[in-house]
Amino acid sequence: MVLDEDILKPRPFGGGNPALWQLKYDVEDKRFLRIFGDLARLISRSEKACEKAAEQNNRDYQRFVAQAEGDYLEELIGASFIILQTKIRRVTSSALAFHKAMLDEHQIDIQELSCRDRIHELGGRYKRKRASLTQLIWDIGNYYKHRDEWPAEVWREKRAGEKDGPLRQGRQTRRSVQRVGIIYASTGNMLKAYTFFDIDPYSECEQLADKVQEWANEAYKKAETRLKAEVAARR
């Protein structure tokens, strides 16, 4: 089967590859990076508030400000993982749709884009953990969204003979986020997550968004490279 080179052209309609165009569109949409710029400025204000409090030579006041700003930072950082999830979800969805279209229409099976886990694994393991950066970010976002819903049993392993049922997903997420330093009932878990990703100071959070963009770029590169190889092989 000879492939028309139009398959390499990302176009929304007519004489091109709409599925490749959709993937390219979602990969290159960098609005989430602008949102991270706003978050970085907000986080910076909290950091400066703590610095000014430290200059007052009043420990009680310093602790009060640190507590208040720390709580605020937890929420800002938590929100940042939700934003990253949004980018990851869009690119993953487009990559899956692209994979299906290429398989159905041209019998091209790009295995690296065949399921969510493989797409999230692009870029390899992070810090020698048994997970990629994208997988860890995804799980941290899920932890932040659902942590208040979890019963205490989520934080222990299943006992012999126990059927974990509705606890299974929560325990799976919990085991994942424990790898970045998140622990039960801590008030600074999101700060620990940023520390794990080497975001120092926290207002440098755009570095993490850039890494997610690099992952997205890798997804598109994989699609483009494999298509080019298929066209060349079928000439």
Question: Could you report the per-residue pLDDT of 33-44, keeping only the tens digit for each?
Answer: 999 999 999 999
Would you say residue 7 lies in a domain?
no
Do 199 and 208 touch, CB atoms closer than 8 A?
yes
Residue 140's pLDDT is: 98
Domain that holds residue 225: 22-233
Distance between CA atoms of residues 219 and 192, nearest Å: 28
Would you say residue 108 lies in a domain?
yes
b/e string for 67-82 if b means 16 or more Cβ within 10 A? eebeeebbebbbbbbe
Q: Supply the pTM of this predicted model.
A: 0.94
Q: Mind listing the pLDDT tens digit for each residue in 118-158?
A: 999 999 999 988 899 999 999 999 999 999 999 999 999 98
Neighbours of 99 (CB within 10 A): 23
Q: What is the mean pLDDT of the chain?
A: 95
Would you say residue 9 lies in a domain?
no
Residue 24's pLDDT is: 98
The sign of the dihedral angle between the CA atoms of 87, 88, 94, 97 is negative
* Domain count within the chain: 1
Residue 1's pLDDT is: 62
Per-residue pLDDT band for 4 (boundaries 50, 70, 90) equals confident
Would you say residue 15 lies in a domain?
no
Q: Mind listing the pLDDT tens digit for each residue in 206-228?
A: 999 999 999 999 999 999 999 99
Residue 220's pLDDT is: 98
Do 24 and 85 touch, CB atoms closer than 8 A?
no
Would you say residue 143 lies in a domain?
yes
As given in the structure block, the two tokens for residue 46 are 């909290």
Per-residue pLDDT band for 165 (boundaries 50, 70, 90) equals confident
Would you say residue 58 lies in a domain?
yes
Per residue, what are the HEC states of 156-169?
CCCCCCCCCHHHHH
